[in-house]
Amino acid sequence: MAVFATAECGMIFSEITVADIPALHQIELAANPYPWPVTAFQSSLSGLYFNYKLVIDNQLIGFVFCKIVADQAELFNICVNPNHQGKGLGKQLLQKLIADLTAKQVTELWLEVRASNQAAIGLYERFGFSCVDIRPNYYRNAQGAEDAHIMCLYLI
């Protein structure tokens, strides 16, 4: 298994494998009211994807799923175990992604986020993402549907 980077406090970023999917899915179920199904994790392990996990003290804490096509990337999923949220780990995951994509000469990073997910929107805005469009009623929710904010960060 490839280790991409190590950081202080025993943080290790490494490649996601098929064997990680059950643990990733458990984090997703705990963190998201509308989680990805297992099949989404399985189908996101092809060569077009740039995915990695965050491990601290041998415990899988978070992950990123990103697809790269030519010089553009789309962030599909970034998630931190709820027991470890609020510690800046989402910021660490996003910071690493941006640095790695820049090194790969990716010029744009795109994402969609629920309009109600103000914590994520705030994080993305702190990194320089801008909302470039709104997809009305894109996500299902308890009230029926909610908008998606389409956001972009220009890397180069």
Q: How many domains does the chain have?
A: 1
Domain range for 15: 3-154
Q: Band of the pLDDT at 1, cuts 50, 70, 90?
A: very low
Give residue 28's Cα distance to chain centre.
11
CATH number at residue 72: 3.40.630.30
Q: Give per-residue pLDDT as tens, 106-151.
A: 999 999 999 999 999 999 999 999 999 999 999 999 899 999 999 9
Strand order in the sheet with 144-154: 3-6, 11-15, 49-56, 59-69, 72-80, 108-114, 144-154, 130-141
- pTM (2 decimals)? 0.92
Please tell me the distance from the alpha carbon of residue 52 to that of residue 65, in angstroms, as a whole number. 7
Compute, in degrees rounded to 10, the torsion defined by CA atoms 77, 83, 85, 89: -70
Q: Say what the pLDDT of residue 86 is.
A: 93
- CB-based contacts of 9: which residues, under 8 Å, 6+ apart? 56
Pull the structure tokens for residue 49.
Answer: 């994807």
Q: Give per-residue pLDDT as tens, 46-63.
A: 889 999 999 999 999 999
**Which residues are identified as catalytic?**
112, 124
The crossing angle, in degrees rounded to 10, of helices 89-103 and 118-126 is 50
| Closest to 41 in 3D by CA, of 9, 17, 57, 60 | 17
Q: Say what the pLDDT of residue 32 is.
A: 93
For residue 7, pLDDT beyond 80 = no
Please tell me the distance from the alpha carbon of residue 98 to that of residue 154, in angstroms, as a whole number. 10
Pull the structure tokens for residue 130.
Answer: 């801008």
